[in-house]
Structure 1
Amino acid sequence: MSGPGRLALVRGEAGIGKTTVVQRLAQVADPRIRVLIGACDPLATPRPLGPLLDLAPRLGPAARTALTGTLTGTSRSDEVFDRLLADLNAYPSLLVVEDVHWADEATMDLLRYLARRLPDVPALVLTTYRDDEVGRTHDLTSLLGTLAAYPWVYRHDLAPLSRRAVARLATGHAVDAEQLYRVSAGNPFIVTEILAAPDEPIPATVREAVAGRLAGLSDTARTAVDVLAVLGRRDPPHLTADILPDPDEALGEAVACGIVRTEGQVTEFRNELTRLAVLEAVPAARRLRVHRHVLAAMRSGPVAGHDLALLADHAEGAGDAAAVLEYAPAAAVRAAALGAHREAAAQYARALRCADRLPPDQHAALLEGHSQACFLSGSLDEGVASRRTAVGLRRALGDRLREGEDLRWLSCWLWPAGRAAEAGRIGLDAVRLLEGLGPSRELARAHLNLSQLACYGHEGVAVATGHARKAIALGERFDDAGVLVQARFHAAATRVLSEGRGWEECEQQVSRALAQDLPVDAGFMAVIMCWLAALRRDAARTAAAVRRAEAHCLDRDLLTYLLCTRAWGSWGLLNRGSWSQAADAAQRVRSHPGSPPVVKALALTVVGLVRARQGRSPVWPLLDEAANLVDARCRLDTGLGWEARVEAAWLAGRHELVQAEARRGLAALADRTHPWLSGPLACWIRRAGGEPPRVPAAGPYALELAGDWAGAAALWDALGCPYDAALARLSGDASALRQALAAFETLGARPAVARTRTVMRACGVRPIRRGPQAATRANPYGLTNREMDVLKLLHEGLSDAEISARLYISPKTAGHHVGAVLNKLGVHTRHEAARKVHHPESE
């Protein structure tokens, strides 16, 4: 509009989002700027000045006349250039030329002509091209060399999507975001196509795009690409040279078409899905020959540890079962040692496909390894199935020690599978069997398992500590560091739940596990710390515990533990009043295919409770689905199932259902000791007008049941739970009721607001607020002026800290405003909030 002209080169591989950038730029451009967009086409004989023909209707008459003249032969191309330059001088313009890697010579000359004169023209000329298709001899290379001398030319490389971005796009889809990132390498086109067709191993659009690129290759280059696809994602040069007679020229052609790329001495596909699409089309006979050739070549010399996975892959492709059983288990053990549990599970599964020829004890060992890797990598059902089969094999072999160990593992994994009652029975079976064999490391672990189950099941300090002591005694005898830290941890965790003390001891055991290089034990205990903090409604501790556990699990590929962490984290967000963020986090966990039933049930409950508090539907279908995923005992163990149903009934004004559900939950808790479970149920009975029974109740619940609403509210405020504090104030005086009303309104808790107003009317208390200001009433979403300021800054992508600095408010206040905006708009993320207001047509 006011400065010198510029040329922008936007470049990246196919599908990286160049056209999306152009379209977005055109949308946000100042209305006074004329937008001219043309594109080059992949024609065998490109149209002369094809992009100008696309945008001709928006040019001035002189430029249009000159352009028409080139088609009829009455005008020269240099006359078109002059007229276009004059036209650009007349209007501030955005001139886009897409896909210049397909441009004809005249278009290339036009860009050379314009680029040299741009500093005196009120225009931004933007070109896009695929840099993966521009080799040393490409016509565009010469043009880029010319432009390198101009300081007003800017280059913009579009990067692939990050892991976080892919996970964000995957929210609400039943896909593994990490797997999606791995196969797509963050390419936006591939990501969106997989999400659009999640049940297809290779989406048809991706398959067709790859086939289109392959169609232009020579037979030699196509053979080279086929060989690379069989070899794997990265191509060791010596193997390619051994298989292909003249690989350099063939691979150079493949690189030029963008199907593969070179990185140092290695040639690789740009992403795994492209390789799989190519591999799918390779003739079976050619695949078999290449696999056999590579397997023989790799086995002819020394085998390095990092080659084991590749050898196992080629052994399976070559149909050599003996070689599979030689390399796949070794590759699995190495992957597990490196923390790559998904890779370990895949290698064990590969070996198990050939295990029918193995002796039963070796077959059982493979099943045990597969089970362990599956659990840690999020394939719980497969892990449980393998462990059950291993139990049967060990029993048939008469191997009582390993049968007991397998029973113990099976018990461990049935709890997250939502079968707490069966977990307890099998855990006892394991202890009884192993006790008959005398002291052992396996018996120590079996007692540890019962201590863990007693902790999660709130069976009291005596039961959990009794098994922990036995585990510690055996752990010391057999020098098992993992047993020692976990047994001490769970004894302390039980005291945290029952007596409110022991948190520091839990922290010490996590630190001890890390110091002793026990990453799986440390990760497991870090996850349990998240549950403890969320169950006790401690917002600050929950947030800190989740941050630590999430970082640990991401670093060590502990997918199951990571999903548990994120589920407890969503509960923590719910407790501190960040409801939309809580629902968003829970929805990601719910939709992940690797989420265990317990984790999925908790996520469903969080989503249902957020909807209930906001007065949105559906609520009960979500809560019922959560209840049906796990058994009744497991529903109590997690801590939110019964209470959520009772609260949802209260918010709906169904007091009889409140009483029935709460008393049913208390009956199930009759033989347990957990004040953070029984306390809230008793409080809900009281809030619904009933007479609560005398049950163990934690701090704020005990105070509310005793009639000390002010003390209860103060404790909730100290814990960082504004909604619970407001609920406690409903039993208070006029000032307390007004505080509760204000809190519910800030949170967007419409049903609670209505109930509070009913209570106030019954008590003769009039709200001192006059209602929303005129600007708020006029806003279609009920946003205040300050909230509109915050929304504008959300649209700019600012964080809470940046918003607080811009508006001169505290970060905490900024966070409250952001939460209020999300709640009023009925969205889960900051991005959705900005999009809903600024682009309502996309909703």
Structure 2
Amino acid sequence: MDLLERDAVLQDLAGHLQAAVGGPGRLALVRGEAGIGKTAVVHHLARLADPHIRVLVGACDPLATPRPLGPLMDLAPHLGRAARTALTGVQAGTCRPDEVFDCLLTDLSAYPSLLVVEDVHWADEATMDLLRYLARRLPSVPALVAATYRDDEIGRTHHLTTLLGTLAGYPWVYRHDLAPLSRRAVARLATGHAVDAERLYHVSAGNPFIVAAILAAPTEPIPATVRETVAGRLSGLSASARLVVDVLAVLGRRASSPLLAGILPAPESALVEAVACGIVRTDGQVTEFRHELTRLAVLETVPAAYRLQVHRQVLAVMRSGPVAADDLALLADHSEGAGDPAAVLEYAPAAAAHAASAGAHREAAAQYSRALRYADHLPPEQRTALLEGHSRACLLSGRVEEGIASGRTAVRLRRALGDRPHEGEDLRRLSYWLWSAGRTAEARQTGLEAVRVLEGLGPSAELGRAHLNLCQLACHEHEGPVRAAAYAEQAAALGERFGDAGVVVQARFHAAAARLLTEGHGWEDCEQALSGAMARDLPVDTGFMALGLCRLAALRRDARRGAAAVSRAETYCLDRDLLSYLLCARAWGCWGLLNQGLWTQAADAAQRVLSHPGSPPVGKALALTVLGLVRARKGMSQVWPPLEQAADLVDESCLLDTGLGWEARVEAAWLAGDHERVRAEAHHGLAALAKRTHPWLSGPLACWIRRTGATPPRVPAAEPHALELAGDWAGAAAHWDELGCPYDAALARLSGDAPALHQALAAFEALGARPAVARTRAVMRTRGVRPIRRGPRAATRANPYGLTNRELDVLKLLNEGLSDAEIAARLYITPKTAGHHVGAVLTKLGVHTRHEAARRLHHPER
């Protein structure tokens, strides 16, 4: 696994090492909880050490009777003869440990050294004495001693605590804490894995060991390595301490001291022992497991009968006094664990409503799901209300299909109840999310039905939202600014009348968005509407409009605005748990990266969207299209499978509405030299767009037809496409340059003069666009343009190590510090193949580590 977020501590340790080998020596204490990555850090430090520095690594073992001087026994073969002889004498009982200390000090004085002693919390008394001895004398030797230990397993009486107290007065002793990984780092490690990065972070609390275990076995609820580790740590507990841990596992991740005391009599001393084993922690008021996955592993071992007993005890204790809103989720959990359906239906809906009001939509969806498991015998009105809440929470938290299913059921029940107002509102919500599921035609039909139902009831806030939904669909489907403005006007009027600020700002936003896509102006109005929603604290409306700006920027190929829009949408939606909006914003961000020529980054971002189990169909279709285009532009295989998968995920109308899916199919055919398919796909798309007005969709399709040598039909076209269709290749290229789209600019220059062709060829070569390079050279030959620039083959021939092009690519990725799995994802090969390439690179360069190989990239003479 990659070593992430450890640069600062590695830089500090490398600085200590450099200073220590020049004298005076130093001691670095590297501490953190089990699995935090202490071993990885010190071993990486060892790999970074210059060749003239001797590296000595030893470790303490968790033995019932530790080996005397166990770490020195590990590294004895690397010590001088005197030290080895003294160690042998200790084993034979003919030599005192202090004689070994003197020999080791003499040995360290002779060579610049890095001495690593791992897991000193398990050290024997002699090793503790050795560290005391060395620490006091380190200023006289050219060595860095790096010692690691688990700070979650040493209490006031631990023998290591005494040693640390001794070291506190030495100025040459430095302490380095390893913190858990951040959400961003966990998300990066999750790239390419079909896991929810947010849930991964939640259950692991950023612990690298747990993260790696889950990623290695993503289908296992609790990976075997975690289960075995937990079992091993629990095995040494007394019966009373184990009982405390079991109760805490049933209580949940956080338990107050009064609650724990209400379940167990006098748990204090047992709790101290449980904390010392490193699985739980306490501040005196609240006790919790360090990691949720650890709690689940313990809970798995608690007998079902005892779990039921504890749940019932907790439920009784918590219900005996006032119930705080923050306790509702715990009460719902214990109600279900206690087998009390009435209590579940009392607390789960309340917990769901509380979570939804706080923007915790995933928690809300889980609580509504819990309530619905016991809702079969509820009155239809109550059950329908639960379904409506469940649908909304699911849709906002990325569980689109589940949310749509609940929404459909709610519509049927409201209709059976004769509740027309709620039926119309449910139809509107269902329409809203059907579009995100890629079912555009059904979304429009359902949206129109919502308006018909609500119009028969007179003006209402719900009717305003229904008109707003039609406005949004008109904008998505590119029906033109007039139709969108008409819907927006009706929605805004009703929003003003009934005090629905969200409807008012969204109506303004989408009317402006329709103008922007067809007439080229309206961005400032969209920004103003978004700012208004933020000022009014309308999270769902704001999130949807923030996502809308990402889409508008991508459709208009506006790289600068697009990057800012995606960054803002990601931050906002992540903070408010708007998962569906967040993932769609990232999908549109992939297109922005693609347009900027950052193809590898675009493919990586697309893989992250695809690997997230909560990605809605539209987001997946966009990401798949990006992957297909990257492969096509780079001349790779397997271009059409992702494009076809994208087409299968959404209906044809949605493929056009996203704007980029259809054009990608046409471009892929052109790059493959299939002009007949180019014209067929392009004419098909233009026919479907005949009743719509979107120059950013129809313009590029017409340009692709023109690039095959055929005459395209007259269609609305945005400025850069209109310029190219009119024969002004220079104007089109300049416009693309201004937008920051190098690939599109180079395509426009294919129609230009000799200097333009040379410029296009250089751009395609810089981008790694091999099919476009080949086509450009063919055009140059046809037009008699000479000389034709060669590709990078001369540079390859000049490579002194004889690396192939693929091996050079691998070496560059090693320089970025990527793992085999990440290299595989970048190059679209299997991790096993990536490992073979890495091995070949190391062999040809004559080095042993990936770090050394990366240094050769910049310093061939080494």
Query: What's the CA shift for 1:479?
Result: 2.0
Structure 2: distance between partners of 1:840 and 1:58: 23
Structure 2 unaligned spans of 5+: 1-20, 819-824, 843-848, 855-862
Question: Which of 92, 109, 128 lines up with 1:89 in the alignment?
Answer: 109
Give yes or no for the alignment of 1:747 onto 2:764: no
- Indicate the SS of the match to 1:10: strand
Aligned to 1:165: 185
Mean Cα deviation higher: 115-124 or 697-706: 115-124
**Number of aligned residue pairs:** 815
Give yes or no for the alignment of 1:386 onto 2:406: yes
Query: What's the CA shift for 1:280?
Result: 1.2
Question: Which of 58, 64, 69 lines up with 2:78 in the alignment?
Answer: 58
Give yes or no for the alignment of 1:447 onto 2:458: no
Aligned to 2:727: 707
Amino acid of the residue matched to residue 46 of structure 1?
Answer: P
Structure 2: distance between partners of 1:588 and 1:101: 39
**8 Å contact 1:579–1:823 — kept in the other structure?**
no
Question: Which of 101, 118, 126 lines up with 1:98 in the alignment?
Answer: 118
Aligned to 2:777: 757
**8 Å contact 1:228–1:235 — kept in the other structure?**
yes
Aligned to 2:850: 839
Structure 1: distance between partners of 2:437 and 2:792: 48
- Indicate the SS of the match to 2:288: strand
Amino acid of the residue matched to residue 722 of structure 1?
Answer: P
Query: What's the CA shift for 1:438?
Result: 2.1
Aligned to 1:246: 266
Aligned to 1:802: none
- Indicate the SS of the match to 2:376: helix
Structure 2: distance between partners of 1:17 and 1:631: 47
Query: What's the CA shift for 1:465?
Result: 2.0
Question: Which of 559, 564, 583 lines up with 2:584 in the alignment?
Answer: 564
- Indicate the SS of the match to 1:437: coil
Give yes or no for the alignment of 1:188 onto 2:199: no
Question: Which of 197, 200, 222 lines up with 1:177 in the alignment?
Answer: 197
Aligned to 2:234: 214
Amino acid of the residue matched to residue 317 of structure 2?
Answer: A
The residue correspondences of 1:502-521 to structure 2 (distance < 5 A) are 502-521=522-541
Measured against aligned partners, the alpha-carbon deviations of 1:153-212 in whole angstroms (never above 9, x if no partner) come to 111111111111100000011111111001100000000110111111111111111111
- Indicate the SS of the match to 2:693: coil
Structure 1: distance between partners of 2:671 and 2:851: 30
Measured against aligned partners, the alpha-carbon deviations of 1:617-641 in whole angstroms (never above 9, x if no partner) come to 2211111111111110110011111
Question: Which of 45, 51, 62 lines up with 1:42 in the alignment?
Answer: 62
Aligned to 2:426: 406
Aligned to 1:813: none
Structure 2: distance between partners of 1:98 and 1:193: 22
Query: What's the CA shift for 1:790?
Result: 10
Structure 1: distance between partners of 2:853 and 2:270: 46
**8 Å contact 1:738–1:767 — kept in the other structure?**
no
- Indicate the SS of the match to 1:557: coil
Give yes or no for the alignment of 1:694 onto 2:705: no
Amino acid of the residue matched to residue 574 of structure 2?
Answer: L
Structure 2: distance between partners of 1:123 and 1:840: 23
**8 Å contact 1:781–1:824 — kept in the other structure?**
no
Aligned to 1:818: none
Mean Cα deviation higher: 25-34 or 175-184: 25-34
Structure 2: distance between partners of 1:425 and 1:792: 52
Query: What's the CA shift for 1:22?
Result: 2.1
- Indicate the SS of the match to 1:355: coil
Structure 2: distance between partners of 1:588 and 1:151: 46
**8 Å contact 1:332–1:348 — kept in the other structure?**
yes
Mean Cα deviation higher: 317-326 or 674-683: 317-326
The residue correspondences of 1:388-537 to structure 2 (distance < 5 A) are 388-537=408-557
**8 Å contact 2:48–2:851 — kept in the other structure?**
no
Aligned to 1:72: 92
Aligned to 2:798: 778
- Indicate the SS of the match to 2:282: strand
Aligned to 1:331: 351
Q: 1:394 to 1:271 in 2, by over 3 A?
A: same
**8 Å contact 2:749–2:757 — kept in the other structure?**
yes
Measured against aligned partners, the alpha-carbon deviations of 1:611-668 in whole angstroms (never above 9, x if no partner) come to 1111122211111111111110110011111111111111111111111111111111
Structure 2: distance between partners of 1:31 and 1:153: 25
Q: 1:656 to 1:788 in 2, by over 3 A?
A: closer
**8 Å contact 1:794–1:834 — kept in the other structure?**
no
Structure 2: distance between partners of 1:316 and 1:793: 52
Measured against aligned partners, the alpha-carbon deviations of 1:512-547 in whole angstroms (never above 9, x if no partner) come to 111222111011011101100110011111111112
Aligned to 2:135: 115
Structure 2: distance between partners of 1:244 and 1:18: 36
Amino acid of the residue matched to residue 450 of structure 1?
Answer: L
Question: Which of 329, 340, 361 lines up with 1:341 in the alignment?
Answer: 361
Q: What's the TM-score once normalised by structure 2's chain length?
A: 0.91
Query: What's the CA shift for 1:693?
Result: 1.0
Aligned to 2:42: 22
Structure 1 unaligned spans of 5+: 797-821
Superposed CA RMSD: 2.6
- Indicate the SS of the match to 1:333: helix
**8 Å contact 2:332–2:347 — kept in the other structure?**
yes
Query: What's the CA shift for 1:463?
Result: 2.3
Measured against aligned partners, the alpha-carbon deviations of 1:104-145 in whole angstroms (never above 9, x if no partner) come to 111111111111111111211111111111111111111111
Query: What's the CA shift for 1:770?
Result: 6.9
Structure 1: distance between partners of 2:226 and 2:816: 34
Aligned to 1:373: 393
Measured against aligned partners, the alpha-carbon deviations of 1:23-74 in whole angstroms (never above 9, x if no partner) come to 2122221112222111111111111111111111111111111111111111
Give yes or no for the alignment of 1:730 onto 2:750: yes
- Indicate the SS of the match to 1:357: coil
**8 Å contact 2:246–2:302 — kept in the other structure?**
yes
**8 Å contact 2:814–2:850 — kept in the other structure?**
no
- Indicate the SS of the match to 1:156: strand
Structure 2: distance between partners of 1:511 and 1:64: 72
Q: 1:239 to 1:195 in 2, by over 3 A?
A: same
Give yes or no for the alignment of 1:236 onto 2:247: no
Structure 2: distance between partners of 1:543 and 1:834: 34
Question: Which of 271, 276, 289 lines up with 2:296 in the alignment?
Answer: 276
Query: What's the CA shift for 1:556?
Result: 1.0
**8 Å contact 2:765–2:791 — kept in the other structure?**
no
Structure 2: distance between partners of 1:788 and 1:406: 53
Query: What's the CA shift for 1:437?
Result: 2.1
Aligned to 1:587: 607
Aligned to 1:656: 676
Query: What's the CA shift for 1:776?
Result: 5.9
Query: What's the CA shift for 1:840?
Result: 9.3
- Indicate the SS of the match to 2:436: coil
Structure 1: distance between partners of 2:416 and 2:803: 67
Structure 1: distance between partners of 2:426 and 2:244: 48
Structure 2: distance between partners of 1:314 and 1:620: 51
Structure 2: distance between partners of 1:766 and 1:827: 41
Query: What's the CA shift for 1:841?
Result: 11
Query: What's the CA shift for 1:772?
Result: 5.4
Give yes or no for the alignment of 1:129 onto 2:140: no
- Indicate the SS of the match to 1:129: strand
Amino acid of the residue matched to residue 377 of structure 1?
Answer: S
- Indicate the SS of the match to 1:766: coil
The runs of 4+ residues in structure 1 deviating greater than 6 Å are: 780-783, 787-793, 822-828, 831-838, 840-843
Aligned to 1:313: 333
Give yes or no for the alignment of 1:140 onto 2:140: no
Measured against aligned partners, the alpha-carbon deviations of 1:700-743 in whole angstroms (never above 9, x if no partner) come to 00110010101101111111111101100000001111111111
Q: What's the TM-score once normalised by structure 1's chain length?
A: 0.93
**8 Å contact 1:336–1:344 — kept in the other structure?**
yes
